[in-house]
Amino acid sequence: MRYKEFGNTGQKISSVAVGTWAIGGANSAGGSFGDVEEATSIQAIRTMLDNGVNIIDTAPIYGEGKSEKVVGKAIKGLDRSKFYIVTKFGSYISHYDGKATRNNRYDHIMTEVDQSLQRLGTDYIDFYLMHWPDVNTPIEETMAALNDLKKAGKIRFTGLCNSPKELVEEAQKYGEINALQPPYSMVNQSQKELMLWATKQGIGTMTSGSLGAGILTGAIRKAPKFDDKDFRLTFYPFFKEPQFSKIMKLLDVLDKVAAKHNRPVAQVAINWSTQQDIVGTALLGVRNPEEAKQNCEAFSWLLDEVDISEINQSIDELNIGQ
């Protein structure tokens, strides 16, 4: 495993993090990533930790608390000082209409953090992140809650997900921002400028969607027939045209690079992301121990400059992820 200094936090964090959205299973609105098994999910998380990963990302909205509970079971009995827990607040599924709802108000955050701590079975959260902006709540109020939670010892570091630079700068007026979690991969570089800025500011980045919802593993070569509520269709554009055909052409290039190193395509994608200075840690969703082990084996080798140049040229020519 490779490790990086994470922004200005003074913490050394593994180049990849365990992503747990998929293991939350379905929510009450019916959205999911397909079938998952709790025991297998726990084994997958443990395998990532056994192979040097030291950070796990989750959120209350993933399976409406189930993901946090599974993480709690996976870390039970382990030395808590050896790894970092990331979870979020302010986003949940409304039981009135089944839609995603945002609430970043002070009192709501104070209630949510205790619920997350209970589900995770831990006394503190290392990184507590605002999941989405809430237009009905001033960022000053949200930051007041995070500052008080720091003082209380319930959280260590704070950050924002899915937020524009202007909101990050506004938040910095009221407290320290240690981490950002934007989407980033070969097929989504829309937040690259934000990440470059954050790196200069000493803010660490935790990139989501590192394998493009699985399309960058190379396992899918024909347009899939996912369930209508599958998040891979509803949240990501990669499995629809014209993106799908473009990504299939990119995979031809990744196939050549993978063959050159005698490695799986997924490891090419992982190294492409994690070898970049603007990526602090890249979230990888895993469903089973085999995937976890294969992902971690990416760190036994590196892409060379020729590989990266060839991949970047293909991304530019195909106009993917801009």
Q: Is 62 assigned a catalytic role?
A: yes
Contacts of 265 (CB under 8 A, 6+ apart): 216, 217, 218, 251, 254, 255, 258
DSSP state of 183: B
At residue 46, the 3 state secondary structure works out as helix
d(CA 277, CA 305): 14
- The answer to whether 85 and 47 have CB atoms below 8 angstroms apart is no
Assigned token pair, 122: 């831990």
Residue 52 gets the label, from left (phi > 0), alpha (psi -120 to 50) or beta, of: left
Bridge partners, 55 (sequence order): 84
Q: Which among 243, 247, 265, 267 has a CA at the least distance from the CA of 256?
A: 265
Q: Which of 3, 62, 92, 174 is catalytic?
A: 62
- The answer to whether 115 and 89 have CB atoms below 8 angstroms apart is no
Phi/psi at 271 (5° precision): -70, -35
- The answer to whether 54 and 83 have CB atoms below 8 angstroms apart is yes
* Other beta carbons within 10 Å of 291: 19
What are the residue numbers of the active site?
Answer: 62
